[in-house]
Structures are given as structure tokens and as C-alpha cells.
Structure 1
Amino acid sequence: MNEFDFETLYAIGLNHGMASQWFTQAEAQTSSLMRVTEVQRDWLQVHDGHVEHAARVMPALVAQLHNAGSGLAVGDWVGVKAHAHEEWWVHSQLTPQSHLARRANDGRRQPLASNVDTAFLVMGLDHDFNLRRLERYLALVQAAGVMGVVVLTKADIGHDVDARMAELHERLPRNVPAYAVNALAPETLAELVPWLGRGQTLVLLGSSGVGKSTLTNTLSNSIAQQTGGLRKGDGRGRHTTTARSLHFCPAGACIIDTPGLRTWRPDADVDSLAATFDDIEALAQFCHFRDCQHGDEPGCAVRGVVPADRLLNYQKLLREVRRSQQTPLERKAQLAKWKVIGKAGKQRNQEKRRGNL
């Protein structure tokens, strides 16, 4: 049996639940447990608690994950063996306790990060400020069982910082922590230290140029991530991060930096997503109709109480979740249905025009 040092692996995010799962695997007798710290197209970086190793994934595991509609992500715990010439190969994956992913246009799941405790939802207090997008990100991380913490960067150069913070607190649930920080300032580490404890794993999510890499460098007290200057014209940061990677913070936490998210299509079910809008779900119980869509139905207890923009955001997310859960045949049938409806509407309009001639 390979040597197993819980304390060493705990320092890079292992917990007792994942350790127990590892000892139920047959691989535990012949493999070493390591954590994925970077994912590239043909290889991975894995960490054993002491040093990193470059590794490749066994074709059998690639096929298994592909058939399950998934893949390895930064933060995964994997079983690794050294083959001939000291080449490291990943043979198995432990089932993640939490997993963040998004859906591609073709319905495939694109992994973002695994075994995450906290998600820092990073947004700039400049032209990037968008409460609807922030609310969307918060709903999706909570649906995955991950705690969301809002981190608004560029507090030193942002616009209407106090007004925007007040707007944020009015829009989001009060139990969601929110901070306005200067990602370059050393004090930021002290402000966010409650989320940086030893053994904790957090991921930074946000669009390009909001300062995720700068924040990673500040929290990890390093210059591990390349950063870019501000663009002329709109003052936004330049896109620099091209791959997800895991870094270590002096306070003990593991930090996963990610490339900017242009869009994030939901990878969640309807029930878990609805639970993140608990204010809407609570009010919906008092609607006159059980299947109320909170549109123009009489006796709706939600419409007029919940801000209209929040309600629209919720309804849009639900539509996207239902669409992502459809099989190819169901999507094809729905497309055919709307084609028939569109054709019928066009025909009625033509008949009306003829009647007016």
C-alpha cells in the first residue's frame, strides 16, 4: 500500500469525507492520491502535498468521463501511478463533493472546478458592474452546493462605490457576504481572511479583466499569475488567464483562478436552482394558481413584490435549465413545434392582409 499522509494532503484541501472515499477504492493499494492543480489539453499538473508532477490521463478514464458527460477539473482528487521512465498517469477520479460546470451550446458539460468550499464572485466597480449577471452567478454556485461571496474589485477607481454597494445589498439576499476591495492592496488579504483558512478551497469566478489574477496574487502573496494593464477607452483590465490553475495562500487556503466567463449556461436542475431564489419560492406558495408563472395571472403573490428585473432573471434561468436538461430528440421536437406555431401565425397574418385588400 502506498504511503498516505493525511496532514500533508489536508494542507492542499483534502477532508475526511474524501479521504474515506479514497480508502474504499481498489486503487488506494497501488496508487498515490494527488490533487489536480492545472488542466491543459493533453496533460495535467497534480500535487502530492510536497511537489507538483506533470501527468497524463489513462485513455480508459478519459472514455469513462466522456461517456458520463464530464471530465477532470482543477480541484479534483485523483489516483496516480508512476509508470516506466517515471511517467505519471492518472487512473481514477474520486467523486467530487462539489462540482462547478457550465453547459456548452451543444449541451456538453464543461467542468470549471471541483471540491470547492467557497466561490468568490468577482466583479469590477467600473463598467463591468452588472447585478443581473452577479445574481446569475450566485444562483448557479449555490445550486452546486458552494457558498458564494461577492468581491467587488477596483474600489479605488470605481464609480459610485457607495451607491452600488447599497444597490447590491438591496438586490441580493442579506446572508450573502459582500466586500468592496482594491485587489492590489495588502489590506484585502485581511478583509477576506475568514474564507482563507487552512484546508479550504475557493474559486474565483467573473468576466475577463475584473482583476481575478491580481486578487489571486494578493491573496497568495505571489506573482504566480500574469496580469495586464488597463485598456484605453473603457479602463477595463486585459484578459491574461488562459487556463484554470490552483494556488496556495499563506493562510492555508487553496485558490483556483479561472479564465473570464463570457457566458455561464446553467448546469443544474430546476429544484436546486429554484431553492436559490427562496424569496420567490416562498411567495409563490400564496399564488392563486399552483402553476402560476408570475406573468399576468390573477392572484399572483410574487408579481409586484419581487423586483421585476430579479423575477425576469429567475424565469430566464429556469428556461435555460429546462432546455439544458432536454434530450436531443426533445429539443428537435420542441423546435418542430415552434416552427408549426410560427408557420400558422404567418399564415393568419397573410389571410388578414388579404381580407383588408
Structure 2
Amino acid sequence: MDTNSSNTDSSNTHFSTTSTNNDYAALARIGLNTHLMAQWHALETNPADRLFRVVEVQRNWLQLHDGTTEHVARVFPALADALYGAGTALAVGDWVSARCHEQGEWWIHRQITPFTHLARRANDGRRQPLASNIDTALLVMGLDHDYNPRRMERYLALVEAAGVFGVVVLSKADIGTDVEGRLAELHQRLPRRVPIHVINGQSPEAALELSPWLGAGQTLVLLGSSGAGKSTLTNTLLEAAIQQTGDVRRGDGRGRHTTTARSLHLCPGGACIIDTPGLRTWRPDVDADSVAATFDDIEALAQHCHFRDCHHDDEPGCAVRGQIDADRLLNYHKLQREIARSQQTPLERKAMQAKWKVIGKAGHARSQDKRSGNW
């Protein structure tokens, strides 16, 4: 980078006891706010404890920043085990308390509870952190083959459900297809409160277009698929070629993973920006009520449905069907089903699989009867 808190501690380890005060003005420049500051001051800290922000996460080490200098650090095994068990592993953007060992090695022994956290669920149900302490998510989608309104609705719903403000960024305006038509489609499908910007990620004007979210001390994360233009936009906002960029495939417009790790950088205007590898999938890590709240246009109309438990499928007196774009409503239902599956216990998942297995066998038997004339 240029320029409930965990109580797990290992005080029996020998540390340098030289007290070094935090430079709070420098920390504020990389995103420290009053909420995080209050947590820090509430901790029972050792004179050797220092407050840092995580700017890069690797397998065996993390890169920390104190607003002036970077340090390589490792996580105490006890804290790593506790965070893994709670599904809250450290992510880029986290704030931590660390101490310097007598040998000059830095060790992280506390995590400051983030005020926002983005994560997704892996195929095996494990929680995978994306970024922490985010103010704004720039949801980047190319106006070429990358254009997919359903995916944008999905990303928007998931970041808003996590308490992060979402901004739609349509990139590649200079080479996009049917730019005006696609912009009009998104304005029709997405709630009016959602800002939508059309940019050329290589132009300095992109920074001016996005300036309302680039204020000093603000933290942004760029999310989108590979080839959407995230790294190009990151370099433009940083006014430096920090991230490697690459071409997309000619056949389907899919991008290659030029960004392989999440990292936090400081923009000239003072905002912190986190670039991320392309997301091929984003399985929900939020509850159904939170996602429903992000589809507030559907929820508002649902209050006028004839039946209180209306699913907006084929029930009579539904106030949603016909008023909401059919594809948006389909996407809403799909997300709710995915969330329901992600919240199932292993036993519930097995029971559901057994149920559908029985249904499948019954359907197969009926088909066999029809073909044999026994129906």
C-alpha cells in the first residue's frame, strides 16, 4: 500500500515492551473512524500493542499498515483457531492489534470487530471472507459480453444485505454494445436509490465521475467478474499502474485473472480502495430477510397482495406480478432459494436430498407405466 473484538491473547510470549504510540491522524487517513476507535480504547491493551489495518492477506502472513509504514505479520495460532471456528477469518480491510516480538517479528493477537464485512459461502458451506470495514462497493460490469443484469442484481442485493452501500459502475463505455439501451434497462430494473455510472475505466474522467465516494478516509471495494475492468479502473483511480491488466477472450468476452489477491491501496484523494480477483460465483452469506429488504420495490408491493404469504407465483390477487420485471422477480426467488439451502444444517440437507430422491423415483416409475400402457 502506498503512502465483538476477539480477546484471544498470548501474554506469556516475550515481547518488546517499548511503548510506541499510535499515530491516529495517520490511521484516520487509511480508514480509522470513531466506531473503530471506540472499540480500540475499550480494549485492555499492553503498552506494546499497536493498531494496524490489514492491507494484504497471504497463506502464512499478512501485510499490515499503520498509516505510514508497512509490516509483515503472522497471526497467533490461538487467534487463528478462534477466528476459523467462528467463520470470521481475517480479511483485507480488517483492523487488528499486534505486537513486535523481541526478534523483530510482528504477531497479531486481536481482531477489532468490523462494522461491515463481505463474505461468501464455498461449496462445502465454509465462509470465505472477501473484505472488511467497507463503506462503498463499486459493482463493476462491462458493457460488452460481461453485461448481465441478473448478476448485477445479485451483487447489489448481497452487498446491501451486508450493510455496504452499492454503486453500479458500467465500464467499457468506449467499446460497449447498446450502451443507452442497457443503461435504460438497469434504470428500469434496479431501485431508483441505486447510483448508476457509465465510465471508460481508462479515462481520468472516471475518477471525477466516482468522486462522491472517493473522500478521504472512505474505503471502497471493487467487485465484478474477471475482465469487467476492475484492475484498469483501480489503476485509473490510483493514478498509477499498480494492478496488472489483461485482455478478454475474443469468443465470449471472459477475462483472465490478472488480479490474484485482494489488496488495499491509497488513492491520491485519500480514499482506500480494495481490488479483488474476479468473482465467478457468489453464494449468499446473509439471511433471507436482509436480502428481501434490498428488493424493497418487491417488498413494498407485496404489502398489497391478497394473501399475506403470497409467493408471487400464481396466487390470485398478487400485487407484485405485472408490476415488477419478470426476470427480476425470478432472480429474487432464486436468491431466496439459495439462502434457504445455505442455512440448512447437514441433517436438513440430507433429508431434502432424500425427499427429492423419492420424488425422482416416483416420477420415473410413472413414466415407465405410461410407456408400458399401465397408466
After TM superposition, the score normalised by the length of structure 1 is 0.96
- In structure 2, C-alpha distance between the alignment counterparts of 1:286 and 1:246, rounded to whole Å: 45
**Corresponding position of 1:90:** 108
- Tell whether the 8 Å contact from 1:22 to 1:28 is kept in structure 2 after alignment: no
> How does 1:206-217 map onto structure 2 within 5 Å?
206-217=224-235
Q: Which residue of 2 aligns with 1:24?
A: 42
Letter in 2 for 1:314: Y
- Farther off after superposition, 198-207 or 156-165: 156-165
Paired with 2:148 and 2:261, the residues of 1 have a C-alpha distance of 24
C-alpha distance in structure 1 between counterparts of 2:47 and 2:357, whole Å: 57
Q: Which amino acid aligns with 1:71?
A: A
Query: Partners of 2:148 and 2:174 in 1: how far apart?
Result: 18
Q: Any conservation in 2 of the 1:209–1:237 contact (CA below 8 Å)?
A: yes
Task: State how far apart, in whole Å, the 2-side matches of 1:220 and 1:28 are.
Answer: 36
- After TM superposition, the structure 1 stretch with the greater mean CA deviation from structure 2, 79-88 or 115-124, is 79-88
CA deviations 1:278-336 (Å, max 9, x no partner) are 11111112222221111111111111211110000000000111111111111111111
Q: Which residue of 2 aligns with 1:337?
A: 355
Using a 3 Å threshold, how does the CA distance of structure 1 residues 324 and 138 change in structure 2: closer, same or farther? same
The letter for the 2-side match of 1:222 is A
Structural RMSD (CA): 1.5
1:73 aligns with 91
SS across alignment from 2:221: strand
Question: Partner amino acid for 2:209?
Answer: E
- In the other structure, the counterpart of 2:163 is 145
Task: State how far apart, in whole Å, the 2-side matches of 1:196 and 1:22 are.
Answer: 25
Residues 232, 352 of structure 1: CA spacing in aligned structure 2 closer, same or farther, 3 A cutoff?
Answer: closer
Choose the corresponding residue for 1:223, options 237, 241, 249. Answer: 241
Query: In structure 2, what is the equivalent of residue 13 of structure 1?
Result: 31
Are 2:111 and 1:101 equivalent residues in the alignment?
no
Moved more, 227-236 or 118-127: 227-236
With over 3 angstroms needed to count, the CA separation of the structure-2 counterparts of 1:28 and 1:307, relative to structure 1, is farther
Q: Does 1:294 align with 2:312?
A: yes
Structure 2 CA distance for partners of 1:222 and 1:28, relative to 1, 3 Å: farther
Aligned partner of residue 156 in structure 1, secondary structure? coil
Q: Following TM superposition, by how much is the alpha carbon of 1:222 offset from its aligned partner in structure 2, in angstroms?
A: 1.3
**How many residue pairs were aligned?**
357
Distance 1:299 1:54 in 2: 61
The reply on whether 1:274 has 2:305 as its aligned counterpart is: no
| Alpha-carbon distance in 2 for matches of 1:355, 1:29 | 85
- Aligned-residue sequence identity (percent) comes to 69
Q: Deviations over 1:139-158 (max 9, x none)?
A: 00000000000111111111
CA contact (8 A) 2:159 2:166 kept: yes
| Distance (whole Å) between structure 2 residues aligned to residue 235 and residue 266 of structure 1 | 26
- 1:172 has 2:158 as partner: no
Match of 1:130 in 2: 148
**Superposed displacement of residue 28, structure 1:** 5.7
**SS of match in other structure, 2:273:** strand
Structure 2 distance, partners of 1:349, 1:231, is 44
CA contact (8 A) 2:134 2:221 kept: yes
Question: How far, CA to CA, are the matches of 2:294 and 2:93 in structure 1?
Answer: 24
1:349 offset after TM fit, Å?
3.1
CA drift of 1:27 comes to 3.5
- Residues 168-204 of structure 1 show CA distances to partners (whole Å, capped at 9, x for unaligned) of 1111111111111111111111111110001100000
- What corresponds to 1:190 in structure 2? 208
Q: Hey, what's the Cα distance between the residues in 2 that align with 1:161 and 1:298?
A: 38
DSSP 3-state at the match of 1:128 = coil
Pick which of 159-168 and 243-252 moved more.
159-168
The alpha carbon displacement at 1:223 in A equals 1.3
Residue 122 of structure 2 aligns with an amino acid whose one-letter code is A
SS of the residue corresponding to residue 98 of structure 2 reads strand
TM-score (structure 2 length as normaliser): 0.92
Q: Hey, what does 1:260 align to over in structure 2?
A: 278
CA distance in 1, matches of 2:302, 2:248: 45
| C-alpha contact (below 8 Å) 2:48/2:100 kept by paired residues | no
Shift, 1:230, TM fit: 4.3
1:163 matched residue in structure 2: 181
SS of the aligned residue for 2:156 comes to: helix
Residue type at the aligned position of 1:174: R
CA 1:307 to 1:83, structure 2 compared with 1: closer, same or farther past 3 Å?
same
2:345 — aligned with what?
327
Kept after mapping to 2: 8 A contact 1:27/1:92 = no
Kept in 1, the 8 Å contact 2:264–2:274? The answer is yes
Instruction: Tell me, in whole angstroms, the C-alpha distance in 2 between the residues paired with 1:263 and 1:353.
Output: 41
Q: Once structures 1 and 2 are overlaid, which stretch shifts more, 201-210 or 324-333?
A: 324-333
Counterpart selection for 2:217 from 196, 199, 213: 199
